[in-house]
Amino acid sequence: MNSPFKLTAVLALVLAASAYALVAPTSASAAGPDSEKALLQKLVDHQAIEDLMTAYGMTLDHRDFPAFGQLFAEDATYGGSRGEPTRGRAAIQAQLDKTLTSNMNHLPEPGHHVYFDPLIEIDGDHATGQTLGAYAVPDPSARFGWRLTFFITYEDKFVKRGGHWLFQERMLVAAKAPSAAQGSAPAGQAPTVAPTAPAR
């Protein structure tokens, strides 16, 4: 038998849904087709920027450097917390080609770029973003068979040119390793790690 509490909760949900069904069409109508079009465009742009972030990692993982270069504006800037940033699409492409091909840290292959928790702000044909990123390499001794070699924050500026979103600027900020005072990560949770390979 249902309790009075359950019946009350169900009734409240039904009433809330009914109220929303009455208000939502009115709100959409009041906003007008221009506002709806602008909202739809923002959603499309947001997805396009997320796809751009995904393509960044995929092109590097597949060593498709020509495709990687096309993700950047001709006058783009790319850099990290140390040294002067690299300027220009061709120079950025050449830098990442050299970094990954040389594999100076002798990292096991294949490695995979991952990104998560994107925060994107769009303003017309320009946008800014902040995303967490990591690079995982195979490691049979690790608990799940993979090891993080760096954990960073990407600070991005995007520009829309010719109907396509591109990186105008990508800056890499390395995460700091936890201090001894902070202790180890909880069981089952991967610890934050500092880069042991060039940020990419």
What are the boundaries of each domain within the chain? 37-182
Q: How far apart are CA 113 and CA 177, in angstroms?
A: 19
pLDDT exceeds cutoff 70 at 147: yes
- Across 34-48, 62-76, 172-186, which has the greatest mean pLDDT? 62-76
Confidence band, pLDDT 50/70/90 cuts, at residue 176: low
Confidence band, pLDDT 50/70/90 cuts, at residue 169: very high
pLDDT exceeds cutoff 80 at 39: yes
Q: What is the pLDDT of residue 20?
A: 41
pLDDT digits (tens, 9 = 90+) for 14-33: 444 444 444 444 444 455 66
Q: Which residue has the higher pLDDT, 194 or 35?
A: 35
Confidence band, pLDDT 50/70/90 cuts, at residue 143: confident
| Closest to 114 measured CA to CA, from 152, 167, 144, 86 | 152
Among 31-35, 45-49, 186-190, the least confident range: 186-190
Q: What is the pLDDT of residue 58?
A: 95
Q: What is the pLDDT of residue 185?
A: 38
Calculate the CA 173 to chain-centre distance. 14
Q: What is the pLDDT of residue 198?
A: 45
Tell me the average pLDDT of the chain: 79
CATH fold of the domain at 37-182 = Nuclear Transport Factor 2; Chain: A, (3.10.450)
Q: What is the SS3 string spanning the chain?
A: CCCHHHHHHHHHHHHHHHHHHHHHHHHHHHHHHHHHHHHHHHHHHHHHHHHHHHHHHHHHHCCCHHHHHCCEEEEEEEEECCCCCEECHHHHHHHHHHHHHHCCCCCCCCCEEEEEEEEEEEECCEEEEEEEEEEEEECCCCCCCEEEEEEEEEEEEEEEECCEEEEEEEEEEECCCCCHHHCCCCCCCCCCCCCCCCCC
Q: How far apart are CA 151 and CA 153, in angstroms?
A: 7
